[in-house]
Amino acid sequence: MDLCIDIGATKTFVAVFEENEEKISSSEQFLTESSEGFDRFLERLESACIRLLKGEKPRFWGVCTAGAVNKDGVVLWSPNLGWKNLPLKELMIPIFGEKGIIENDCNAAAYAEARVRNVENLAYVTLSTGIGMGIVVNKKIYQGSHFSAGEIGHTIVEPNGPVCSCGRRGCLQAIASGRGLENQIFEITGQKVDCAVILDYAQSGIEPYHGIVRKASLILGKLLTNVVDILDVDTIVLGGGLTKNEYYTNMVVEFIVKNYYRLPTKTVNVERTIYQLNSGVVGMIFLIRDLFGGVGAC
């Protein structure tokens, strides 16, 4: 069996695939709780994998995770997980074997979305606890010179804005992500309100929720319109927990569709993910089989 794991800021999703299948055969999800320490996380991950693989070692394995990941599988920095220079691949090899790779979660998701649509140039944006983006150029993941291409969550959109998990002020995700919305509401009301509830209140026009969410959608829409124009992609795909709320997502999509730069021959598809469960693990199954061979490889 092949094993794919998506380590998110909030949840970790583990999936196994039969060797001749592209569909998930079984999966488990648990809370990442990275603040409890990496060793505790690894224990929970190992026990989930033992259950799913029935004690066997995987044929190939792939892990995608939040944060910048270099070609040696080191997580250089993940503000959302609190990991810095973590040699993740080195730590996984004794558990799962040599045939594995580590990739950024948004890059993996972008790869899955581009492969399934058979498009050359695509950006995948995840709107969740944080905000991230993966870029596929000429059907390949674009990682950038410092393995941090697409880190739009930490681009500054309001210099004196709210403090971000990276320590700076006014990053996109401090304003427009799930945690960003919750923190802004906490600052104003002193109340801890779940993001899903904030979006519901906003849709009902209740202040300050409506104002905060409306502003977030405009800032996000503006930045993604610029992304579409800078990269000149065929398709931009939105995914992640926040896209379950149509009110928020629709405002962002409408802004992009209305405002991207028109050339006579230019049409950009603004779409939602087709993978409701997890596009990161689908990207990883394509990536590991491209590298090591097997069904689904190109």
State yes or no: residue 154 binds Zn ion (CB under 5 A): yes
Q: 98 vs 29, 91, 92, 248, 260, CA distance in Å?
A: 24, 11, 9, 43, 45
Q: How far is the CB of 177 from Zn ion (least distance, A)?
A: 10
Nearer to Zn ion, 183 or 235 (CB): 183
Beta-bridge partner residues of 126:
132, 239
Residue 155, token pair as written in the block: 């681009």
Q: With H, G, I as helix, E, B as strand and everything else as coil, classify residue 44.
A: helix
Chain mean position to CA 48: 21
Nearer to Zn ion, 171 or 216 (CB): 171
Q: How far is the CB of 39 from Zn ion (least distance, A)?
A: 27
State yes or no: residue 152 binds Zn ion (CB under 5 A): no
State yes or no: residue 171 binds Zn ion (CB under 5 A): yes
Residue 35, token pair as written in the block: 């603040």
Angle value at C-alpha 149, between 143 and 152, nearest 5 degrees: 150
Name which position in 157, 166, 193, 251 contacts Zn ion (CB under 5 A): 166
Q: Which range in 11-19, 132-140, 163-171, 190-198 contacts Zn ion by CB under 5 A?
A: 163-171
Beta-bridge partner residues of 65:
7, 104
Q: How far is the CB of 273 from Zn ion (least distance, A)?
A: 24
State yes or no: residue 164 binds Zn ion (CB under 5 A): yes
Q: Taking a C-beta distance cutoff of 8 angstroms, is the pair 224, 125 a contact?
A: yes
Nearer to Zn ion, 48 or 224 (CB): 224
**What is d(CA 260, CA 55) in angstroms, rounded to the nearest whole number?**
51
Question: For strand 100-104 and strand 122-127, is the pairing parallel, antiparallel, or unpaired?
Answer: unpaired
Q: Which range in 30-38, 167-175, 185-193, 264-272 contacts Zn ion by CB under 5 A?
A: 167-175
Nearer to Zn ion, 63 or 164 (CB): 164
Binding residues for Zn ion, rule: CB under 5 A, are 154, 164, 166, 171
